[in-house]
């Protein structure tokens, strides 16, 4: 099948809204980080890509007609080489608003698990390696917490996309622009429904809170176990 649309925009530029919109336009199964985190094969494949493996893009995107969001946005040039007939949609937004949103959601979620869990629990460690390798190190060179630097990377990335991709194959798009420019670019009829605006910030906050609560409880249980063992040994 192969990708027909490649999204090169960063996470938190309306990528979930784009996913819903593209699927509504007929691009059945639009790849998104959401699918990676929920699918063991996707996690394994992207971990391999992020840690220096040779990607099999046909396998990774088997059954998908479009991709948006990280981690695929970090590899738009490679994807365009693998799927040369695809068009590219680059989602953008105000850099200040993007950084605040990304800091409080996708970046915060990656920091929610404690260092001991990232070191000793394979599932947590591999997810961390995958996201760091594909996003925070590859794109931001480990300096996302440097706000000025991260914002400049965000701006420069858009300019790089413009330089890399012919104008007739690229749409610079803000989700607030709605259906018309997107449908005109993709050659699709404009739906008679409103453009989807999916704000999943609340879901991220809930996930971050639950991760912290879970590992907090595990930490308490482990500490209690250690205290109990010491008491048993010395009693």
Please say whether the beta carbons of 10 and 174 come within 8 A.
no
The percentage of residues in the chain with a pLDDT greater than 70, rounded to a whole number, is: 84
DSSP, collapsed to helix, strand or coil, labels residue 199 as coil
- The domains of the chain, with CATH numbers, are 5-234 (3.40.50.300)
Please say whether the beta carbons of 16 and 197 come within 8 A.
no
Q: How far apart are CA 166 and CA 155, in angstroms?
A: 19
Does the pLDDT of residue 215 top 80, yes or no? no
Classify the phi-psi angles of 213: left when phi > 0, otherwise alpha if psi is within -120 to 50, otherwise beta: alpha
Position 31 scores a pLDDT of: 98
What is the arithmetic mean of pLDDT over 12-38?
A: 95
pLDDT tens across 107-136, in order? 988 776 777 777 878 888 999 999 999 999
Does the pLDDT of residue 29 top 70, yes or no? yes
DSSP, collapsed to helix, strand or coil, labels residue 39 as coil
Question: What tokens does 148 get?
Answer: 């000025």
Position 226 scores a pLDDT of: 43
Beta strand pairing call for 170-173 and 66-67: unpaired
Largest separation between any pair of C-alpha atoms in the chain: 78
Position 214 scores a pLDDT of: 53
CA-CA distances (angstroms) from residue 50 to 99, 140, 232? Answer: 23, 14, 45
Position 235 scores a pLDDT of: 59
User: Residue 33: CB partners within 8 Å, gap ≥ 6?
Assistant: 11, 69, 70, 71, 106
Position 202 scores a pLDDT of: 61
Does the pLDDT of residue 59 top 90, yes or no? yes
Q: What is the pLDDT confidence band of residue 218, given thresholds at 50, 70 and 90?
A: low
What is the arithmetic mean of pLDDT over 60-64?
A: 97
Average predicted confidence (pLDDT) for the chain = 89
Does the pLDDT of residue 36 top 80, yes or no? yes
Position 144 scores a pLDDT of: 98
pLDDT tens across 147-201, in order? 999 999 999 999 999 999 999 999 999 999 999 999 999 999 999 999 999 876 6
Position 201 scores a pLDDT of: 63
User: Residue 109: CB partners within 8 Å, gap ≥ 6?
Assistant: 204, 207, 208, 211
């Amino acid at each position: 099948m192969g990708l027909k649309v490649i999204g090169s925009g960063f996470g938190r530029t309306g990528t979930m809204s784009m996913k819903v919109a593209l699927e509504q336009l007929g691009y059945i199964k639009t790849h998104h980080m959401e699918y990676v985190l929920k699918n063991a094969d996707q996690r394994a494949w992207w971990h391999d890509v992020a840690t220096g493996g040779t990607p099999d893009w046909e396998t990774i995107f088997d059954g998908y007609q479009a991709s948006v969001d990280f981690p695929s946005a970090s590899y738009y040039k490679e994807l365009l080489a693998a799927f040369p007939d695809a068009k590219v949609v680059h989602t953008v937004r105000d850099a200040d608003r993007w950084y605040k949103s990304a800091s409080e959601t996708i970046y915060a979620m990656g920091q929610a698990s404690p260092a001991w869990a990232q070191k000793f629990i394979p599932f947590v460690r591999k997810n961390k390696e995958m996201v760091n390798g594909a996003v925070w190190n590859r794109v931001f060179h480990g300096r996302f917490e440097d706000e000025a630097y991260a914002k400049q990377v965000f701006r420069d990335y858009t300019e790089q996309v413009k330089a890399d991709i012919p104008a007739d194959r690229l749409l610079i798009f803000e989700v607030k622009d709605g259906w018309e420019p997107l449908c005109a670019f993709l050659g699709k009829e404009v739906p008679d429904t409103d453009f989807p605006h999916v704000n999943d910030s609340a879901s991220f906050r809930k996930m971050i809170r639950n991760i912290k609560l879970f590992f907090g409880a595990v930490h308490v249980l482990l500490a209690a176990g250690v205290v109990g063992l010491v008491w048993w040994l010395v009693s």
